[in-house]
Amino acid sequence: MITAAIPGGNIQLFGISGNRIELDVELRDTTTDWFYWSFKAEFPRPGRYEFYFVKPNRIGPRGPAYSLDGGRSWRWLGENTDGRSFVFDYDGSAPEVLFCMGMAYLERDFDAFRREFSGNALLQVETLCRSRQGRAVEIATIREGAPEFTLLLTSRHHAGEMMATYVLEGMLRYALIHEEFRRSIGITAVPFVDKDGVENGDQGKNRAPHDHARDYEGESIYPEVAAIRELFLQLRPAAVMDLHCPWLRGGCNEWIYVVGSEKPERELQMTRFGRILETETPPCCPYHERDNVRFGTLWNTAENYTGGWTIRHFAENYPFVKGAFSMEIPFANAREVTLDRAAALELGAAFCRAMARYLKEEAK
């Protein structure tokens, strides 16, 4: 049995012939082809099963992720070369297996993080607003005393970009553990900007008429973005970090990088932050400042933003913002290293260390 009736589920089943399953993604209201999928499989008997996607570019460089414990933990199945099929050897040890194009991060995962730190009064989780479908959109705050700076964090402007939220959790963990950091920088974080899309299993990217990431110009059509804009004006953050994942595989999609700005002074801020970040990232999540995608290169052109402003564009208009950074975290490979949950949490810690150094230097 193959079903998308799970949190974050997304799949179309075209047919099952013996041990071969043909399927593809559901685009729903996404206007371009995209690659997010997630489903549950129940197998009739042990054996080798082939999953074949009817369209290419559905599987990343480490194959799919799979979970034998209902999504509490994930593993990469292994290297994939053709991008449209994988083989799974089912040994009968688990009654069901979850498969996903990446290591899924949903509300249940953030709730597990909250429970882990439930005795820590420094972590405050409230409701930013209600989504269009009535879901609570979480906002997490960590601060102690009267920190000099405020950092606004966001992830999942595009619903399917799950690795970004692991990094966001890593940043929250670092702030909870390191008193010196939280006394200097207070964090306010929105882990699921497109909350409905995350839980429904939407692509999120290029949603009609525009997606959440292009909703910061004019009047916002999404309640989450409207609430973030209001929150931003209340907080007056010294820095904004918007966490994303790029395309599925190949080239810069397997780098950790910062997205450059068309404003020269903001581009220089990116360079200064990047040079600090390069010294803070450990071998499990390597970052190189030279990998930043500067404005006017690769996909980062004016044409890409005709659909509307991102939160970076919005924040860059305010002089009190000392850095507005859009970060891209790959789904699976960071250059020669394979990312997983542990590496993403470490990357979040590196982001915090670099941000603390950066803001102190910018304040001089």
Burial of 251 (0-12, 13-18, 19+ CB in 10 A): exposed
Other C-beta atoms lying within 10 Å of the C-beta of residue 192: 27
CA-CA distances (angstroms) from residue 169 to 87, 176, 304? 32, 11, 29
- Dig out the tokens for 163 from the structure: 């690795």
CA-CA distances (angstroms) from residue 357 to 163, 279, 364? 24, 11, 11
> What pLDDT score was predicted for residue 293?
98
> Which residues 6+ apart lie within 8 Å of 114 measured at CB?
123, 125
pLDDT tens for the chain, residues 1 to 364: 999 999 999 999 999 999 999 999 999 999 999 999 999 999 999 999 999 999 999 999 999 999 999 999 999 999 878 899 999 999 999 999 999 999 999 999 999 999 999 999 999 999 999 999 999 999 999 999 999 999 999 999 999 999 999 999 999 999 999 999 999 999 999 999 999 999 999 999 999 999 999 999 999 999 999 999 999 999 999 999 999 999 999 999 999 999 999 999 999 999 999 999 999 999 999 999 999 999 999 999 999 999 999 999 999 999 999 999 999 999 999 999 999 999 999 999 999 999 999 999 999 8
Length of the chain: 364
Give dist(CA 9, CA 75) in Å, integer.
18
> Which residues 6+ apart lie within 8 Å of 118 measured at CB?
none
> Where do runs of H (alpha helix) occur along 56-106?
none
Give dist(CA 344, CA 171) in Å, integer.
10
Q: Which residues pair with residue 266 across a beta bridge?
A: none
> What pLDDT score was predicted for residue 364?
84
- Rounded to 5 degrees, φ, ψ at 146 are -125, 80
Give the DSSP letter of residue 291.
G
Tell me which amino acid residue 99 is: F
pTM passes above 0.85: yes
Give dist(CA 129, CA 135) in Å, integer.
8
Tell me which amino acid residue 134 is: G
Give dist(CA 347, CA 353) in Å, integer.
10
Give dist(CA 265, CA 336) in Å, integer.
32
Instruction: Name all domains of the chain by residue range, CATH numbers in brackets.
Output: 2-100 (2.60.40.3120), 107-362 (3.40.630.10)
**How far from chain centre, in Å, is Cα 92?**
32
CA-CA distances (angstroms) from residue 330 to 192, 242, 288, 322, 333? 18, 14, 14, 26, 6
Give dist(CA 185, CA 172) in Å, integer.
12
Residue pair 151/241 in contact by the 8 Å Cβ criterion? yes
